[in-house]
């Protein structure tokens, strides 16, 4: 059913054939736009600064220290052998154990909904519960969002994303005001100060019930478990519920009662679970007009403005304008984008989704990630557009899109079950022993889109300009960094997070795992993408490359994929486009050996 809210206006080593040999480039002519590119990628410097300290590991391997610090293999093993509880299990136990005590708390003078990554009014589980209780008790609902610069830093949130969230909050404030619901947006420098601030706010306004949706990163799960306890001590009922996923982590298990580690059987189980629990896709009721006399009682909150972006996440005026145009904020935009995609593109999605040029996908990831659109809403609406009214059968484009949205749930399940992926550890923690390279020059060239591999460079430049990269290019660029350059995938993962507007820890970490074979790799073999073959297959006419690598605009035909190897050297050189920085065939051999050696070694 369409929403009521209308938009206003064990590893086998195999690989594809080796690449046509490219000449190795020692130097590259500086690109004329280097100053601009340097400015765009400036956050990369923080990556390099942050990881400057190197330690000698027992094999004489030079490793970088990562933030957050790597968890030890022994502790990872303990999680996997169920010797220590996972943060999600601690939270769920806390919810269950405290239920009776929390239920006995009588509502106070107002109810609070704490917005986090659920920035919408439509189909929001916790908000709906908060609003229902407020109406039942005839007391006002107060909404809260906390801006924490330290939290943004800890999550490596990109400035583009912070800007998107603040713009969304402005839309929400207006929508909520129409319902007489005040939205308080405050800045708290330190993330650890957030719970204390919330308790003080509750005390100030006589609030006895707080509602929020669950986030699945370790720190957030632990914070929420701690807050349930602290709130109880103050006679406050803190209720957290699942909302960010269609199916909550822990609900799907293999025949032997284990967590699925491979996508396809997990997806079959996900579809069947959703079909047998139809309520999972039902929309939550939207909040209506605020009861009580909120204008009189809460005037202070109505008058508070939306804060500016914190210093550490500010965009330049030009960037702000660009991102506003590229990514209009708020849930109305999300719903109209979704509707347009369903009306115009979903039918051809299966055939076109891997083509980076043009606009064949929904471009909804920032909305799913910031919570301006629930994944549940997307799945429900696309199911309703399917002739079978189901998640299986019917339109192939629709089925394919459902399967992509489900990847989001899959990676959240992975994060909840293997929490050490949050501590700079791959899902298969043994992969920590792969000996990585830390070549800063090569890393910088990758960040800038100056590797000499046009499809890689086009993808990276799209990211630097749009805060977004097409999924196929995310896979190609990630594979190139972790396999061809053998650079520690965690540096790439971090760079992506710091630049993506749709940055989502679980999906990004999972995507790197998939592409760098460092974690969740649903393929039973070890893949090394050949950038040239990928380029020819998914950007056959070079349209995507020409759009993002203007130095190669005048290159004709198939030479676009490998200008130095296919007779377009003069044009490329004249325009300052570098020669390929490595030879793919050699890199492939090196990567196969390095990964094999690394995976064979397990340490505690
Ligand atoms: C290395 C790497 C890093 C990635 N990092 C992120 C990230 O930080 N945030 C993020 O949202 N996605 C990430 N992805 C997944 C994917 O690239 C984007 O979700 C997709 O490109 C978004 O474009 P779209 O909305 O047009 O997607 P569509 O193709 O229209 O898909 C619909 C929705 O499904 C979800 N989705 C699609 N593919 C995936 C996937 N592979 N994994 C998880 N969810 C998916 C997204 O929410 C997306 O909006 C990453 C993929 C890789 C390979």
Check which CATH number belongs to the domain holding 567 and give it. 1.10.579.10
Mean pLDDT score across all residues of the chain: 88
- Count of C-beta atoms within a 10 Å radius of residue 556: 10
Per-residue model confidence as pLDDT tens digits over 57-79: 333 334 455 666 778 888 899 99
Known catalytic residue at 114: no
Per-residue model confidence as pLDDT tens digits over 551-601: 999 999 999 999 999 999 999 999 999 999 999 999 999 998 888 887 654
Structurally, the chain folds into a number of domains equal to 2
Residue 4 lies in a domain: no
Residue 547 lies in a domain: yes
Domain shared by 464 and 594, yes or no? yes
Q: How far is CA 420 from CA 61, 67, 73, 429, 506, in A?
A: 22, 13, 10, 9, 12
Domain shared by 55 and 114, yes or no? no
pLDDT at 45: 35
Residue 1 lies in a domain: no
- Report the half-sphere exposure of 230 (CA within 13 A, side-chain side): 15
Contact 310, 450 (CB under 8 A): no
pLDDT tier at 41 (50, 70, 90 boundaries)? Answer: very low
**Complex-level ipTM beyond the 0.90 threshold:** yes
pLDDT at 563: 98
Residue 79 lies in a domain: no
Domain shared by 310 and 243, yes or no? yes
pLDDT tier at 132 (50, 70, 90 boundaries)? Answer: very high
Please report the atom of ligand 1 found closest to the CA of residue 375: 47
Nearest residue CA, atom 16 of ligand 1? 471
Q: Helix, strand or coil for residue 73?
A: helix
Beta bridge partners, 13, equal 526
Q: Which of 418, 445, 475 is the last residue of a domain?
A: 418
Long-range pairs for 169-174 at CB < 8 Å and ≥24 separation? 169/119, 169/145, 169/306, 170/306, 170/329, 171/329, 171/330, 171/331, 171/332, 172/115, 172/119, 172/120, 172/121, 172/143, 172/330, 172/331, 173/306
Is pLDDT of 530 > 80? Answer: yes
CA of residue 141 to ligand 1 center, whole Å: 34
Q: Helix, strand or coil for residue 494?
A: helix
CA of residue 401 to ligand 1 center, whole Å: 11
Q: How far is CA 424 from CA 58, 64, 365, 513, 587, in A?
A: 19, 11, 23, 12, 25
Nearest residue CA, atom 2 of ligand 1? 511
pLDDT at 57: 39
Known catalytic residue at 407: yes
Q: Which of 377, 399, 418 is the last residue of a domain?
A: 418
Residues with CB under 6 A from ligand 1: 353, 361-365, 368-369, 404-405, 407-408, 411, 470-471, 474-475, 478, 496, 500, 502-504, 507-508, 511-512, 514-515
Domain shared by 413 and 430, yes or no? no
Residue 391 lies in a domain: yes
Domain shared by 123 and 244, yes or no? yes
Domain shared by 581 and 437, yes or no? yes
Domain shared by 323 and 305, yes or no? yes
pLDDT at 16: 30
Residue scoring higher pLDDT (18 or 228): 228
Give the span between the Cα atoms of 65 and 58, in whole angstroms: 15
Residue 143: which CATH number? 3.40.50.620
Known catalytic residue at 512: yes
Domain shared by 119 and 21, yes or no? no
Residue 410 lies in a domain: yes
Contacts with 130 (C-beta within 8 Å, 6 or more apart), sequence order = 111, 112, 113, 141, 209, 211, 287
Domain shared by 452 and 582, yes or no? yes
Known catalytic residue at 471: yes
Residue 478 lies in a domain: yes
Domain shared by 412 and 431, yes or no? no
Residue from 362, 404, 491 whose mutation best tests the ligand 1 pocket (most atoms within 8 A of CB) = 404
Domain shared by 60 and 134, yes or no? no
Mean pLDDT of 21-35: 35
- Token pair, residue 601, equals 């070694």
Residue 76 lies in a domain: no
Please report the atom of ligand 1 found closest to the CA of residue 411: 43
Is pLDDT of 246 > 50? Answer: yes
Mean pLDDT of 476-502: 94
Q: Which of 366, 400, 418 is the last residue of a domain?
A: 418
Domain shared by 205 and 110, yes or no? yes
Give the span between the Cα atoms of 4 and 374, in whole angstroms: 15
Residue from 160, 365, 518 whose mutation best tests the ligand 1 pocket (most atoms within 8 A of CB) = 365
Per-residue model confidence as pLDDT tens digits over 80-94: 999 999 999 999 999
pLDDT tier at 372 (50, 70, 90 boundaries)? Answer: very high
Contact 548, 564 (CB under 8 A): no
Is pLDDT of 480 > 50? Answer: yes
List the domain range (segments joined by +) for residue 226. Answer: 85-418
């Amino acid at each position: 059913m369409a929403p009521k809210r209308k938009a206003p206006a064990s590893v086998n080593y195999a690989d594809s054939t080796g690449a046509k040999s490219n000449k190795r480039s020692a130097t590259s002519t500086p690109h004329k736009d280097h100053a601009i590119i340097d400015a765009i990628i400036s956050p990369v410097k923080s990556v390099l600064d942050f990881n400057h300290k190197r330690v000698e590991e027992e094999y004489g391997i030079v490793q970088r220290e990562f933030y957050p610090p790597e968890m030890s293999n022994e502790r990872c093993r303990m999680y996997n052998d169920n010797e220590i509880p996972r943060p999600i299990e601690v939270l769920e136990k806390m919810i269950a154990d405290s239920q009776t005590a929390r239920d006995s708390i009588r509502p106070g003078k107002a109810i609070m909904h704490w917005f986090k990554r659920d920035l919408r009014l439509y189909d929001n589980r916790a908000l709906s519960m908060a609003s229902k209780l407020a109406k039942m008790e005839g007391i006002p609902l107060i909404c809260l969002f906390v801006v924490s610069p330290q939290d943004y830093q800890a999550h490596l949130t990109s400035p583009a994303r912070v800007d998107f969230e603040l713009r969304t909050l402005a839309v929400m404030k207006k929508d909520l005001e129409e319902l007489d619901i005040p939205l308080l947006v405050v800045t708290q420098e330190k993330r650890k100060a957030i719970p204390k601030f919330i308790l003080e706010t509750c005390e100030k306004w006589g609030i006895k019930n707080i509602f929020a949706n669950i986030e699945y990163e370790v720190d957030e799960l632990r914070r929420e478990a701690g807050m349930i306890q602290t709130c109880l001590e103050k006679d406050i009922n803190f209720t957290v519920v699942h909302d960010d996923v269609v199916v909550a982590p822990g609900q799907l298990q293999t025949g032997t009662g284990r967590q699925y580690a491979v996508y396809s059987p997990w997806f079959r189980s996900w579809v069947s679970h959703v079909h047998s629990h139809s309520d999972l896709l039902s929309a939550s009721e939207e909040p209506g007009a605020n009861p009580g006399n909120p204008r009189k009682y809460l005037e202070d909150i109505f008058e508070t403005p939306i804060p500016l972006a914190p210093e550490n996440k500010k965009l330049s005026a030009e960037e702000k304008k660009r991102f506003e145009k590229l990514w209009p904020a708020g849930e109305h935009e999300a719903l109209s984008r979704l509707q347009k995609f369903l009306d115009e593109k979903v039918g051809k999605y299966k055939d076109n989704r891997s083509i980076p040029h043009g606009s064949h996908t929904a471009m909804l990831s920032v909305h799913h990630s910031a919570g301006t659109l629930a994944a549940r809403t997307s799945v429900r609406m696309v199911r309703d557009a399917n002739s079978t009214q189901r998640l299986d059968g019917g339109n192939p484009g629709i089925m394919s899109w459902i399967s992509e949205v489900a990847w989001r749930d899959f990676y959240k399940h992975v994060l909840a079950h293997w929490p050490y992926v949050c501590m700079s550890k791959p899902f298969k923690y043994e992969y920590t022993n792969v000996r990585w390279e830390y070549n800063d020059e090569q890393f910088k060239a990758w960040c800038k889109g100056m590797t000499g591999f046009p499809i890689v460079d086009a993808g990276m430049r799209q990211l630097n300009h749009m805060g977004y990269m097409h999924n196929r290019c995310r896979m190609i660029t990630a594979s190139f960094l972790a396999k061809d350059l053998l650079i520690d995938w965690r540096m790439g993962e971090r760079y992506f997070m710091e630049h993506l507007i749709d940055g989502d820890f679980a999906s990004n970490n999972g995507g790197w795992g998939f592409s760098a074979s460092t974690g969740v790799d649903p393929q039973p073999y070890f893949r090394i993408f050949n950038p040239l073959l990928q380029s020819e297959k998914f950007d056959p006419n070079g349209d995507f490359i020409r759009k993002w690598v203007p130095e190669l605009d005048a290159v004709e035909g198939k030479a676009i994929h490998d200008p130095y190897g296919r007779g377009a050297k003069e044009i490329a050189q004249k325009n300052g486009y570098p020669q390929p920085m490595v030879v793919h065939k050699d890199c492939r051999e090196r990567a196969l050996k390095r990964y094999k050696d690394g995976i064979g070694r397990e340490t505690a």
